[in-house]
Amino acid sequence: MSTYCIGDIHGCYDEFMALLDLVKFNPKTDFLLTTGDVIGRGPKPIETLNFLLKYQDRIISVLGNHDLSLLRNYHLYSELKDAASKEKFLFNLKASELKKIINEKNGTEMISFLRNCPMTFWDRRHNLFISHAGLSPEWNIFDAMKNGNHVEQLLRSEHFGILMENMFSDRQCRWAPIKAEIQNNFAQKQFKTSIHYRRHMDYEDGIYDYMSLYPSLELDRCIYTINALTRMRFCYTDLSLDFDCKDKPKENKNRNLKPWYDYPNSQFKNSQTIIFGHWAALEGKNPADNIIALDTGCVWNGSLSLINIEAPAKRYSVKANQ
C-alpha cells in the first residue's frame, strides 16, 4: 500500500492517467492526495472529475482556487431564473468547465463532490500538511486546519451562496485584525449566558454556526482563509498577502515582497512537512527540504508531478501532451 500526492491536474486527464500508470497506482490498495485545482484550463475536466468520483474513497483532494471558481460559477448560474439569462451567462463565461458539467447526467454529483472536498489535509503519522497555496506566515498548521474547517462548513451549508458571492476579495489580506475581532466578540459577557451558545460557539472548537450571529466577521475569516490557502504566493513585510505577483521569486523586483515561505514562522516546526501546488512558476523546485512544491505547470506545457509521501525526495513526472 502506498500513498501518493500529485500536483495541480487542471483537467490534464491523459497526463494524470499516464502518471498513475507510471507508479502503478492501485485504487484497491493505494491512496492518492492532490494539491487542488483538479480542473481549470485543461482539456478534460469531465474525465478527471469522473475518475475522482469513481475512486473517492481512496482519494482526498484539497480545494484550489480554480475548484472554488467553478463552484462560484455554478452557484451564480443556478440563481438565474430564466433560460435566456442562463444562456447569456454561459456565453460570457471564459471557463469552459461549467458548460460541460451542466450537460453531464452526473453534473450535480461532481459539484457535490467538490463542495465536500477539504480545504486542508493533515497526515498525523507523517507530520505532513497539504493545502493548495501553502501556509500563511501568520498561522501554524492547526490555525490553517481550524479556519479551513469554517470554510468547509459554509460550503456544505445553507450559507453556501453567501460564501460564493463574497469569497473572491482582495480586501482580507491580514489575519491579525480578524483574529483580534473574533476574540473580542467572544470576550463579551452576553454570549456566555446561554448553555447552547457555550456548547456550540467556542472559538476553539470551530463547530458552531457563527454566520448567523456575525455574518460579516465570519465572511472576513473565510475570505482570508480562502486567500491564504488557495491564492497566496508572495507576502508583504507586514505579512499581508499579495494577489498580483506570479513571478519566479528571483524575478520579483518588489523589495517589499517575499515568498510566503521566506518569512520566519516560529509556529512552523522543522519536523513538519508542507506540500503545496498553485505556483507553477516555481517549476517544482522545493523551497526547503520540508516544503515541497508540486505544481510543475502541466497545463502550461510543463509536466505533471507526483511523489510517494513515504519517500518524498523521489519525484515522478510526465511531460504535457500539448
Helix axes 215-226, 141-155, angle to 10 degrees: 120
Residue 223 CB partners (closer than 8 Å, separation 6+): 166, 167, 169, 171, 172
pLDDT given at position 267: 74
Compute the distance between CA of residue 253 and CA of residue 116 in angstroms, rounded to an integer.
39
Q: What is the DSSP annotation of 126-187? A: TTEEE-SS---TT--HHHHHHHHHHHHHHHTSTTHHHHHHHS--SS---SHHHHHHHHHHHT
Q: Are the CB atoms for 151 and 136 separated by under 8 Å?
A: no
What mean pLDDT comes out for the span 191-196?
A: 41
Q: Are the CB atoms for 77 and 102 separated by under 8 Å?
A: yes
Compute the distance between CA of residue 188 and CA of residue 217 in angstroms, rounded to an integer.
15
- Per DSSP (E only), the strands in the chain are 3-6, 31-34, 59-61, 121-123, 128-130, 234-236, 257-259, 273-276, 291-293, 303-308, 315-319
Cell reading at 41: 484550463
pLDDT at 192 over 70: no
Q: What is the mean pLDDT of the chain?
A: 90
Q: Are the CB atoms for 33 and 130 separated by under 8 Å?
A: yes
Query: Does residue 203 or residue 27 have the better pLDDT?
Result: 27
pLDDT given at position 143: 94
pLDDT given at position 171: 87
- Per DSSP (E only), the strands in 170-312 are 234-236, 257-259, 273-276, 291-293, 303-308
Q: Are the CB atoms for 265 and 248 separated by under 8 Å?
A: no
pLDDT given at position 216: 86
What domains are defined for the chain?
A: 1-135+268-322 (3.60.21.10), 142-260 (3.60.21.10)
Model confidence at 215, pLDDT cuts 50, 70, 90, reads: confident
What mean pLDDT comes out for the span 261-265?
A: 89
What mean pLDDT comes out for the span 99-115?
A: 96
What mean pLDDT comes out for the span 152-175?
A: 93
Give the residue carrying C-alpha cell 431564473.
81
pLDDT given at position 189: 42
Tally of residues, the chain: 322
Among candidate residues 23, 1, 2, 74, the one with its CA nearest the CA of residue 304: 23
Among candidate residues 19, 21, 28, the one with its CA nearest the CA of residue 1: 28
In the 8-state DSSP scheme, what is residue 262?
Answer: G
What mean pLDDT comes out for the span 260-286?
A: 89
pLDDT at 41 over 70: yes
Model confidence at 200, pLDDT cuts 50, 70, 90, reads: very low
What mean pLDDT comes out for the span 143-172?
A: 93
Residue 111 CB partners (closer than 8 Å, separation 6+): 70, 71, 74, 101
Cell reading at 240: 499581508
What mean pLDDT comes out for the span 211-232?
A: 89
pLDDT given at position 237: 94
Amino acid in position 232: M
pLDDT given at position 195: 36
Which string of b and e fits 188-222 if b means at least 16 CB within 10 Å? eeeeeeeeeeeeebeeeeeebebbeebeebbbbbb
Among candidate residues 11, 167, 32, the one with its CA nearest the CA of residue 101: 11
What mean pLDDT comes out for the span 227-233?
A: 98
Percent with pLDDT over 90 in the chain: 79
pLDDT given at position 78: 95
Amino acid in position 258: K
